[in-house]
Amino acid sequence: MPTTWAALDAELITLLGSAIVHDSDTRATWINMALRHFANTHTARTSTQTFNGDGSTRDFSLPADYISMYSVYSEDGEMFFEPIPDIPGAAWDQSTEPTSVRPYSYQEWPEGTLHLLHAPAEQSSELALIVRYFATWPEFADSDGPIQPLWCNDALLALAVANSYVSSLSDMSFLNEFRTRVDSGNPMQNPIMDAYDKMIERYTWLLSSHPIQIREPHFRPGGRGR
């Protein structure tokens, strides 16, 4: 279930308290940083992009929100393209002829580009190349509503609060504003760093009941069928 920016922002304000100086745009930045980290390391959004072949093009630009590939499916050939393993020294049939052993395959090379070993034939809008991929979540912007699942909100808030401490940590590092504790074996004390660590621990703990998303390319031997 999605939530709204206003609802999440209100909870973030409560958690921040009065010590951190912030405005709406800054709070949105902290949330968006948390969303990107959550998508890249735990659970991403699944999205779809379609391309039309022209019989010669083998390189297609992947969307800006792309993280990693799930599947490449040709409606014209009714088959999944096989991912080329990115392993040094791996043997592979590099023929671009449709009669070769594995002509219908793909790899992301260079970064952000879907490279097909065999150029798909010219296709109509009804017969497209369907790319399914793992994507980043849409960012918050003023009153726009996000679509991330409700179960991750508390974790995102914890990470957003941790993000709010980063600028203060940077300032204190440059200004050497650490507290000296004469009676301690550790002469350095930084309460903001301690608070940051606690919020990171809280983020990890809140996500511990949800397994990390499995992101393996989908392919069926033979390439046929959905």
Separation of alpha carbons 180 and 202, rounded Å = 27
The SS3 assignment for 202 reads helix
pLDDT of residue 226: 44
Handedness of CA 62, 30, 24, 168 (dihedral sign): negative
pLDDT of residue 57: 86
Which amino acid type is present at position 177? E
pLDDT of residue 126: 55
Separation of alpha carbons 161 and 20, rounded Å = 10
Q: pLDDT of the chain along its 226 residues, tens only?
A: 457 788 888 899 999 988 777 888 899 999 999 999 999 999 999 999 999 877 788 899 999 999 999 999 988 777 888 888 776 655 555 555 555 545 678 888 888 999 988 777 776 555 688 999 999 998 886 556 567 888 999 999 999 999 998 877 655 554 555 555 555 545 456 677 888 999 999 999 999 999 999 998 888 665 444 4
Which among 127, 163, 107, 154 has a CA at the least distance from the CA of 52?
127
Place of tokens 């309460």: 191
For residues 220 and 79, the answer to whether their CB atoms sit within 8 Å is: no
Q: CB 73: neighbour CB atoms within 10 A?
A: 22
Q: Which pTM was predicted? A: 0.80
pLDDT of residue 140: 81
Separation of alpha carbons 162 and 222, rounded Å = 48
Partner residues linked to 188 by β-bridges: 180
pLDDT of residue 91: 54
Separation of alpha carbons 72 and 206, rounded Å = 34
pLDDT of residue 171: 57
pLDDT of residue 223: 46
pLDDT of residue 95: 52
